[in-house]
Amino acid sequence: MDNGYQHSVEQWWLALTAGLIYLALGAWVLLFPITSYLALTTFFIIGFGMIGMLNVYYALNNRKRLQHWGWTLMSGLADILITFLLIANSELTLFILPIYIGFVLLFRSIIGIGFASYLSHYHVRNWGLVLALSIIGVLFSMLLIWRPDIGRWTIVAFTGLALLTNGFAQIGIAYELKRYRKRFGQSKLA
């Protein structure tokens, strides 16, 4: 038996522990939505700031190779600027975050539509899928902009549900590893 797989079978309890932690986090997010939203706000601010820095780095490093590198640069600089504004006005951030996420996703979705057109021009397969997903992204981002109250609670609810489903998946993995270990016994694993 593969030594790596043997080790993972022996350590089935790690997946169980991870699953229980995911379940606890998911339950916490859903039971305490306001506290969770505050924590997620901080996470999103940091995440968008990092994405902005990566976009600036990418644009500057590829300015001689990319024809429209300025759009990526401007997008990155806008992300960084808005990140600093959100950090400076933490109370305002709670209300603005869904709108900000909506505008960022709207901008990215519009870029996706343009990219789908580019793919279509070069006859790349599945360009229609990129176009369809980008259009759906436009619709969802517009919903966030027009109804930020919906956005606040969907951010929390989807995060909680994702944590719960991941927890159940980890517990399922632990169960299967333990079952495999019992079925084939210690002697087969050695």
Coil, strand or helix at 2 = coil
Counting Cα atoms < 13 Å in the Cβ hemisphere of 117 gives 7
Percent composition of the chain: helix, strand, coil (DSSP 3-state, to 5) = 90, 0, 10
Spatial contact of 151 and 33, defined as CB atoms under 8 Å apart: no
163 contacts: CB under 8 Å, gap ≥ 6? 22, 23, 25, 26, 29
Q: What is the pTM of this model?
A: 0.58
Count of CB atoms situated within 10 Å of the CB of 27? 14
Along the 190 residues of the chain, how does pLDDT read in single tens digits? 445 445 556 777 888 898 899 899 889 989 998 888 888 888 878 888 998 999 899 889 888 887 778 888 998 898 899 888 888 887 777 777 788 778 878 888 898 898 888 788 878 778 899 899 999 989 988 888 888 888 778 878 887 888 898 889 889 888 887 877 777 765 454 4
